[in-house]
Amino acid sequence: MSEGKKGLQKPGPGDRLRRLPDIAWRKVGEETILVNVKQDEVMQLDSVGSFIWSRLSGDETLRDIAESLVGEFAVGMETALEDTLEFAASLVDRGVAKIIEAGRS
């Protein structure tokens, strides 16, 4: 974990993330719709975002999730990890997920 813009937490590959409890969500086809109840905000995730979101139960590290992404979407590990970290940072930034365990990256 490192400090990102404005001092926000930026997740690293060894971190585990968990969806925050105030988020209602539903998979619609390959995509997922989130409603952030506290912020009164609706988000639409594409198929890659949906795949990552569905695994944010706090059990897997972001590296684990990126490895699964490689198998599911036929991308290289470097791209998968980069995409996973970037997406995870945006979820933390938007207040829909939190880092529950800071691992060593």
24 sits in the region (left: phi over 0; alpha: psi -120 to 50; else beta) called: beta
Q: Which of 11, 32, 55, 89 binds another protein (CB under 8 A)?
A: 32
Select 8 or 94, whichever has its Cβ closest to another protein: 94
The nearest distance, CB 28 to another protein, in angstroms, is: 4
Give residues 1-30 in contact with another protein (rule: CB under 8 A): 21-26, 28-30
Select 11 or 49, whichever has its Cβ closest to another protein: 49
Under rule CB under 8 A, residue 97 binds another protein? no
75 and 57 in contact (C-beta within 8 Å)? no
CA distances from 82 to 34, 38, 92 (A): 23, 29, 16
Structure tokens at 26: 């539903």
